[in-house]
Amino acid sequence: MMATIQSVAGDEGQHPDIALVERVKAGDISAYDELVRKYERQVFRIAQHITQNREDAEDVMQDAFLKAYEKLDQFQGNAKFYTWLVRIAVNESLMRLRKRRTGKLVSMDEDIETEEGRVPRDFADWAPDPEQNYDNSELSEILRKTIQGLPRGFRVVFALRDIEGLSTEETAEALNLSVPAVKSRLLRARLQLRERLSRHFRPGAKPAPPPRQAGSPAGKRV
């Protein structure tokens, strides 16, 4: 009886994904269906952040889940399944970019030797609730363009750590980087995004809508 209680208590401490992984390893593919359902949106978003291309992200998502399924016996269970899956998705994304560039090496370290974002330069405060000045599609466009402008190595660290909520250690593991490298890139990513968003979010940044032209002779040459 005691042993049963202890083993139940032990199971409670285990991440629920581990039980699903064990079921898949035992041949129950419906458990993998659950894992795919649980993480497909995250994998799609991460692939989008790296490839910046919707079709590529769709392909990466499929390839990553297939590869994870085929290699599941290599998953040791000492890491989280999700972190392990993200690592596969990151590698698949980089391979997809390499294909697009006809074999040219693609890495996480491109263009990170920029001076931008090492120290803040813009000290203008933002308008209160600055996002309220834009409608949803305008705001999404600003946020997408701004993050797309970051070097890949910064963009992905920000996406994993701040958007997807991985810890610093998990981000390091998923990207095969050291913890200090993740910390340094995260700070610079955050500062660069802040600086670039300031252009849109400082008070008065959004130009007033153009005056109505109807009936106005203003544009007419005389």
Partner 1 sequence: MTCTEFLAILDEVIDQSIAAETRAEIEVHMKKCGHCEVVFNTTRKTIEIYRAHELYELPTDLRDRLHNAIMEKCKKSKGPCS
Q: How far is the CB of 176 from partner 1 (least distance, A)?
A: 21
Considering beta carbons, is residue 56 or 173 the nearer one to partner 1? 56
- Listed ranges 2-10, 12-20, 30-38, 214-222: which one lies at the site for partner 1 (CB under 8 A): 30-38
Residue 141 CA: distances (Å) to CA of 50, 135, 151, 164: 17, 10, 18, 19
Rounded to whole angstroms, the Cα distance separating 158 from 182 reads: 9
User: What string marks each residue from 38 to 77 as x (binds partner 1 by CB under 8 A) or -?
Assistant: --xx--xx--xx----x--xx--xx--xx--xxxxx----
Sole binder of partner 1 in the list 8, 119, 208, 218 (CB under 8 A): 119
What DSSP state is assigned to residue 74? G
Q: Which of 151, 144, 142 is nearest to 188 (CA)?
A: 151
Tokens read off for 40:
């497909």
Q: Identify which of residues 9 and 69 has a Cβ nearer to partner 1 in the complex.
A: 69
Distance CA 79, CA 84 (A): 7
Closest CA to 77 of 122, 21, 133, 159: 21
Please identify, among the stretches 84-92, 93-101, 192-200, 205-213, the one whose residues bind partner 1 according to the rule CB under 8 A: 192-200
- Which residues, numbered 72-91, are part of the site for partner 1 (CB under 8 A)? 72-73
Shortest Å distance, C-beta 115 to partner 1? 15
Minimum Å gap between C-beta 212 and partner 1 is 31
Within 10 angstroms of residue 204's Cβ, the number of other Cβ atoms is: 9
Residue type, 112: I
Pure H helices in the chain: 2-12, 16-25, 29-51, 54-70, 81-100, 136-148, 152-158, 168-175, 179-201
201 makes contact with partner 1 (CB under 8 A): yes
Residues 137-166, interacting with partner 1 (CB under 8 A): 139-140, 143-144, 147, 158, 162-163
Question: Which amino acid appears at position 153 of this protein?
Answer: G
- Among residues 116 and 162, whose Cβ is nearest to partner 1? 162
Enumerate binding residues for partner 1 (CB under 8 A).
24-25, 27, 29, 32-33, 36-37, 40-41, 44-45, 48-49, 54, 57-58, 61-62, 65-66, 69-73, 119-120, 123-126, 130-131, 139-140, 143-144, 147, 158, 162-163, 183, 186-187, 190-191, 193-194, 197-198, 201
